[in-house]
Amino acid sequence: MYLPEFIGRTKELSILSKLNQNILEGRSQSLLINGSSGSGRKRLLMEISEEYTREIDYYASRADGIPYSIIEQLVTKIIKISIAKPKLNHLINHLPVLAEVFPKLKTMFKNELETFDSVIFSLVHPEEFLSEFLIEFLAASDTRIVVCIYNAEKIDEKSLEILKNILAIEEVVLGVVGVGEHNELGELYSEGLTIQALPIEDYEIFLSSLFGNDSFLNEQFVERLYLISDKNLTKTVELVQYLADTKQLYIKNYCWHMIEESIHQLKMPETTEWLLGNKIQLLSNNEKWIYQVLSLINMPIIDQPEFLSTIAQITNTQSMEKVLQAIGTIYKHGLLLRLMTSYDFPSITFKEYIQNTREMIFTIK
């Protein structure tokens, strides 16, 4: 199957284009995109970010309610980029203080920290220091910056206050785009954008682009998928993948076909909850156990080796590397995104997560 085409959303793209243009012209902007999960919010941002890829960098983060969480994610990305870009190398000088504010950086940037003299820092109020660091980065960057905050309704007060204060400084240019399911703008956002479900006409075009052809699609098939998926594009792809995995849809001579003449003869799950259960059954017993542990713990510490070690002990898994492999399998089945906790990794960052976690495991070994 193909990556589905980006369908419709002309009005939404226009609003985001205007936001980007204002940022390029030196005016800070903030926008909250709200809509149900699977409605195409992330794809919308991907489309607009690709259009401005040479002029604006989008920094993705995920809110979880923990103090400074959004700022910590931003700082981590900034340090990584500063190491790679000579123009930003001077920002690394702040690493010792940043590591005191965010202890996880001590593990992630152990080699870089060894080049500094051992000094103990004590910050009673880190907000001012973090604000100054972000402002220095924004001034030094050769592109404009937009911070994307997924799960926007869960943003912590500390991160909110820092971002709000930076947006209020006329000399500093920053874009903030929140992505959530609620439409309350709150203190951070000046505008709102609601993403509605695609009309069925556009939904049919979406399906056609997924298969590369629409010769076997009929009105009944489209309408049933539209109903079962609750107009949700992510669920639609999962349902279609299930039909392909069970050989009810198959490819022959480079074209897709349906094994049954009627949509009503297909063995199709009536709910995506059933589909979720079917995916879980495909896991090994150990993977199911790890998945259960992940679903019970509502803390965003999955990227810490100590956490992986604890999971290995609880589930009698041989090593942290085996736990990581199991998490990779869970992800491939599309289950990690389903956990009703903080472990809903966006697909574009999952490979980076796996690599970073492996590096930390080998560091502590």
Q: Over 70: is that where the pLDDT of 342 sits?
A: no
Q: Over 70: is that where the pLDDT of 226 sits?
A: yes
Burial pattern 207-224, b for ≥16 Cβ within 10 A else e, equals bbbbbeebeebeeebbeb
Q: Over 70: is that where the pLDDT of 12 sits?
A: yes
51-60 pLDDT, tens digit per residue, is 888 899 999 8
What's the pLDDT band for 270 if we cut at 50, 70, 90?
A: low
In whole angstroms, what is the distance from residue 331 CA to residue 320 CA?
16
Which of 76-90, 102-116, 134-148, 230-244 is the least confident region? 230-244
Contact criterion met (CB below 8 Å) for 46 and 64: no
Q: Give, as one character, the DSSP assignment of residue 44.
A: H
| Phi, then psi, of 5 in degrees rounded to 5 | -65, 155
Q: Over 80: is that where the pLDDT of 84 sits?
A: yes
Tokens 């792809």 locate to: 237
What's the pLDDT band for 292 if we cut at 50, 70, 90?
A: confident
What's the pLDDT band for 296 if we cut at 50, 70, 90?
A: low
Question: Largest alpha-carbon pair distance within the chain?
Answer: 74
Q: What is the pTM of this model?
A: 0.73
What's the pLDDT band for 303 if we cut at 50, 70, 90?
A: low
pLDDT at 298: 45
**Best CA proximity match to 173, nearest among 332, 21, 11, 338:** 21
Contact criterion met (CB below 8 Å) for 147 and 92: no
In whole angstroms, what is the distance from residue 281 CA to residue 268 CA?
17
Fold classification of 10-194 is Rossmann fold (3.40.50)
Using DSSP's 3-state secondary structure scheme, residue 250 falls into strand
* Packed helices 200-211 and 233-245: angle between N→C axes, nearest 10 degrees: 40
Contact criterion met (CB below 8 Å) for 317 and 353: no
Range with top average pLDDT, 13-17, 111-115, 295-299: 13-17
Which of 23-27, 217-221, 295-299 is the least confident region? 295-299
Tokens 């996880």 locate to: 104
107-151 pLDDT, tens digit per residue, is 889 889 888 876 666 666 789 999 999 999 999 998 999 999 999
What's the pLDDT band for 347 if we cut at 50, 70, 90?
A: very low
The gap between the terminal CA atoms of the chain, to the nearest Å, is 41
158-196 pLDDT, tens digit per residue, is 999 999 999 999 999 999 999 998 888 888 999 999 998
Q: Over 90: is that where the pLDDT of 71 sits?
A: yes
Q: Over 80: is that where the pLDDT of 217 sits?
A: no
Range with top average pLDDT, 4-13, 63-72, 237-246: 63-72
pLDDT at 357: 47
